[in-house]
Amino acid sequence: MSGHSTYEPKTGIERWLDARLPIIRLGYDSVIAYPTPKNLNYWWTFGGILSVCLVLQIVTGVVLAMHYIPHGDLAFASVERIMRDVNHGWMIRYLHANGASMFFLAVYVHMARGLYYGSYKEPREVLWILGCVIYLLMMATAFMGYVLPWGQMSFYGAVVITNFFSALDQVIPGLGSAITTWLWGGFAVDNPTLNRFFSLHYLLPFVIAGVVGLHIWALHVPGNNNPTGVSVKSKDDVVPFHPYYTVKDGFAIVVFLILLSWFVFFAPDALGHADNYVQANPLQTPNHIVPEWYFLPFYAMLRAVPQKLAGVLIMFGSIALLFATPWLDWAKVRSMRYRPTARWFFIIFIVAVLILGWCGGKLPDDVIIPMGKNPDGSPTGFSVVHLSRILTAYYYAYFLLVLPFVKNFEQTLPVPDSISAPVLTEKKG
Amino acid sequence: MLRKALMAGLAAGVFSLVAMPALALTSEEEPKHVEFGFEGPLGKFDRAAVQRGFKVYAEVCASCHSMNLLYYRNLAQKGGPFYEEKYPNPNASPYAKAIAAAVMVPDIDQETGDAVMRAATPADHFKSPFANEVAARASNGGAMPPDLSVIAKAREGGPAYIYSILTGYPTPPKGLTVPAGKYYNPYMPGDLASYWSGPKDQVPKGGFIAMPLQLTPDRVTFDDGTKSTAEQQAHDVSTFLAWAAEPKAEERKETGLAVMAYLILFAGLMYASYRRIWRNVAH
Ligand code: HEM
């Protein structure tokens, strides 16, 4: 999409079309000739994987929507009907449900890749922000999708999440409740809520597809970052996207599909929750309301503080930090490959987020290190909520202290002059 | 080194999320360790066991529990307990027809519109024991016997949990006050602290269940001569309920094996192409 186009229409019809709508040129320049750094590793294959995930969700979703009934009394049974009576309905639904999980797995790897190799830095700030927008939209889409089967977790998940807004009552009395009532379309999560969630769940993936288009456009202007973080300097540094990266991405996509298929065919409910096979019942709150695994780190942050509004702000703030990342990192060197200190902080960051996810699945009062007993005999001590607090603090510190200031204490390693330079001297791998 | 650490960290994290233990507020006993042949990627349902399990359901459980998502035809569809190749259309299966015909279901007279009872057909739902939830609760001391169609998926522990509940009626420990119409069951989630007069740190695990003990030796007579112990009945009915929760599970696994074989070959081919295309590029 950028730079000089090398497309040459070969046939008459191509020349005719090229003069009117240069769409073949666009495709050619973006996925055939597009110059790509030749040292991209497998962490770079997740962009292609994510595109496949989006297409998969849309295709399976559209078919599900042909059979699904968005009504409080019928939704649960209609999903079961898909499982039992629609030809290969079980496969379509399991692909969609597990596809959503794998989509998040891929997006997390993709984002971690960006954080590690400094892909958010100048000149890729807009690209990064568009990625954050996609992530937000994905969260909204998946949340509303999870409500659709109208099981117990669907219902109570919807109650918990929409109730975030009622925390605003602590700022302006009545404001939060007014917003939740508006979101629900009534005074409780009910049929109108389900209907509008279905409408939005159908809409948002197409909005995501649009933003993905912008994301790729914003990628093709500065071009790919790469593991060295050194900008492309000459033709020696790049290879055409096709066939070099079509085949590498293709391989990674097939391996990813193996993982997805393993879940779909052999453990389709492993990532879900048993309670969601119980039809929603507004009168019977489940013992333990947990979101899908991909929201657990944020759920832990939400519950790390006893004050609701503060919890909600901390949770949304953790995502806001991602948007601000390009301006929080003050180091000159892009890739953490050459930043021995920052790299350790990064590894700790990843581990912290994973442990936060674990905390999100536990109860805040679950004791990790017992240090005594309550009068009723239950242990007290260092509990999940304490751990969540420490890890949340680290999450924030990573963005607000490590990224801006660690460069002042860091001895960076020598950065190669060009992409080809280390490639020619270092051995492969 | 760094890359290995990263990989190991990620792998460990993902694993710990996937393998996260059952989350429970209450402290019930872990389900008993029972083996089921249908578990695992290659597991298949033991058809005789599903048939026996259906008999247990029909003769015991069906007087309280509905299975609204099942039709009599499901019993004779591919993968079902009464499937036979001779009858590819389950609605035409003599087994499904005979099982259905033994049940009377409400309908309306096609000419007068009057309420009538008629024999069920394979196209009918499993008949519900109660007309509505109020009636179900009224007959069960206020408790609602849950619909059993997807119960094997709707409980942590699945079939092993059902088995444990059905066989888990020990004499209540001394010091536990069991309310009228309730039974002590260590596998049932609950919180017994307020019914317990013993030491505070020794509250019994489990909870109360409103369902009395159902399965006793010879409660059901098995047509294939299998000895009808309570454990056998519980195992068979759990197997039946696992089948009923996902009648297409066998088809799913069979498809999965083919898909996996295809994808692994495909991945090998892609990798070979990748090596070949990149062979002259230093990277
Ligand atoms: C960004 C892409 C998408 C994501 C992340 C996503 C996610 C989800 C999730 C998590 C569920 C709940 C699955 C379950 O537990 O059963 C779901 C259900 C559903 N989705 Fe999507 N979805 C996406 C796109 C779509 C699209 C494009 C459509 C329709 C055009 C669609 C239609 C449906 C329907 C009808 C259901 C209810 C059936 C069911 O629960 O299996 N989805 N979605």
Query: B187 and B24 in contact (C-beta within 8 Å)?
Result: no
Cβ contacts of B135 within 8 Å, gap of 6 or more: none
Tens digit of each residue's pLDDT (9 = 90 or more) over B209-247: 999 999 999 999 999 999 999 999 999 999 999 999 999
Burial of B106 (0-12, 13-18, 19+ CB in 10 A): exposed
**pLDDT recorded at residue A253:** 98
Chain B from 69 to 108: CB within 8 A of any A CB: 69, 74
Q: Is the CB of A106 under 6 A from ligand 1?
A: no
Give the C-alpha separation, B57 to B101, whole Å: 17
Closest residue by CA, ligand 1 atom 18: A145
**pLDDT recorded at residue B282:** 77
- The chain-wide mean pLDDT, for chain B, equals 91
Q: Where are the domains of chain A?
A: 1-7+18-151+191-275, 290-413
**pLDDT recorded at residue B200:** 84
- The closest of A193, A196, A205 to A163, measured between CA atoms, is A193
| Helix (H) / strand (E) containing B206 | none
Chain A from 248 to 277: CB within 8 A of any B CB: 248, 250-251, 254-255, 257-258, 261-262, 264-266, 268-271, 274-275, 277
Burial of A268 (0-12, 13-18, 19+ CB in 10 A): buried
Interface test with B, best of A46, A91, A108 (most B CBs within 10 A): A91
Bridge partners for B107 per DSSP: B116
Quickly state the pLDDT bin for A372 (edges 50, 70, 90): confident
**pLDDT recorded at residue A378:** 75
Give the C-alpha separation, B62 to B83, whole Å: 22
**pLDDT recorded at residue B22:** 36
Quickly state the pLDDT bin for A422 (edges 50, 70, 90): low
- DSSP per position, B46-112: -HHHHHHHHHHHHHTGGGT---TT-BGGGGGSTTSTT--TT--SGGG-HHHHHHHHTSEEEEE-TTT
Tens digit of each residue's pLDDT (9 = 90 or more) over B240-269: 999 999 999 999 999 999 999 999 999 999
**pLDDT recorded at residue A132:** 98
Question: Which of B5, B146, B277 lies closest to A347 in CB terms?
Answer: B5
pLDDT at B16 over 70: no
Bridge partners for A370 per DSSP: A381
ipTM of model = 0.92
**Residue to probe by mutation, ligand 1, list A94, A148, A275, most atoms within 8 Å of CB:** A148
Closest residue by CA, ligand 1 atom 13: A97
pLDDT at B20 over 60: no
Chain A from 93 to 132: CB within 8 A of any B CB: 94, 105, 109
A97-131 per-residue burial string, b: 16 or more CB within 10 A, e: under 16: bbbbbbbbbbbbbbbbbbbbbbbbbeebbbbbbbb
Looking at per-residue confidence, does A424 or B182 come out higher?
A: B182
Domains of chain B and any CATH numbers: 21-67+143-268 (1.10.760.10), 71-124 (no CATH)
pLDDT at B21 over 60: no
Which residue is it, tokens 């112990």? B229
Q: Is the CB of A146 under 6 A from ligand 1?
A: yes
**pLDDT recorded at residue A287:** 86
Query: A395 and A317 in contact (C-beta within 8 Å)?
Result: no
Please indicate whether, in this complex, the C-beta atoms of B18 and A270 are within 8 angstroms of each other.
yes
pLDDT at B274 over 80: yes
**pLDDT recorded at residue B15:** 46
Lowest mean pLDDT segment, chosen from A311-325, B8-22, B58-72: B8-22
B26-B28-B29 Cα angle (round to 5): 155
Residue B141 is given by DSSP the state T
**Percent helix, strand and coil across chain B, each to the nearest 5:** 45, 5, 50
- The closest of B238, B214, B212 to B60, measured between CA atoms, is B214
CATH number of A1-7+18-151+191-275: 1.20.810.10
3-state SS string over chain A? CCCCCCCCCCCHHHHHHHHHCCHHHHHHHHHHCCEEECCCCHHHHHHHHHHHHHHHHHHHHHHHHHHCCCCCCCHHHHHHHHHHCCCCHHHHHHHHHHHHHHHHHHHHHHHHHHHHHCCCCCCCHHHHHHHHHHHHHHHHHHHHHHHCCCEHHHHHHHHHHHHHHHHHHHCCCCHHHHHHHHHHCCCCCCHHHHHHHHHHHHHHHHHHHHHHHHHHHHHHCCCCCCCCCCCCCCHHHEEEHHHHHHHHHHHHHHHHHHHHHHHHHHCCCCCCCHHHHCECCCCCCCCCCCCCHHHHHHHHHHCCCCCHHHHHHHHHHHHHHHHHHHHHCCCCCCCHHHCHHHHHHHHHHHHHHHHHHHHHHCCCCCEEEEEEECCCCCEEEEEHHHHHHHHHHHHHHHHHHHHHHHHHHCCCCCCCCCCHHHHHHCCCC
Q: Which atom of ligand 1 is nearest to the CA of A206?
A: 27
Query: B70 and B96 in contact (C-beta within 8 Å)?
Result: no
Q: Is the CB of A62 under 6 A from ligand 1?
A: yes
Give the C-alpha separation, B173 to B53, whole Å: 31
- The closest of B67, B69, B180, B71 to B130, measured between CA atoms, is B67
Give the distance from residue B278's alpha carbon to the nearest chain A alpha carbon, in angstroms.
7
Please indicate whether, in this complex, the C-beta atoms of B150 and A277 are within 8 angstroms of each other.
yes
pLDDT at B87 over 80: yes
Q: How far is the CA of A136 from the centre of ligand 1 (A)?
A: 16
Quickly state the pLDDT bin for A424 (edges 50, 70, 90): low
In this prediction the pTM is: 0.92
Give the C-alpha separation, A404 to A332, whole Å: 11
Tens digit of each residue's pLDDT (9 = 90 or more) over A3-57: 678 999 999 999 999 999 999 999 999 999 999 999 999 999 999 999 999 999 9
- The closest of A114, A209, A201 to A106, measured between CA atoms, is A114
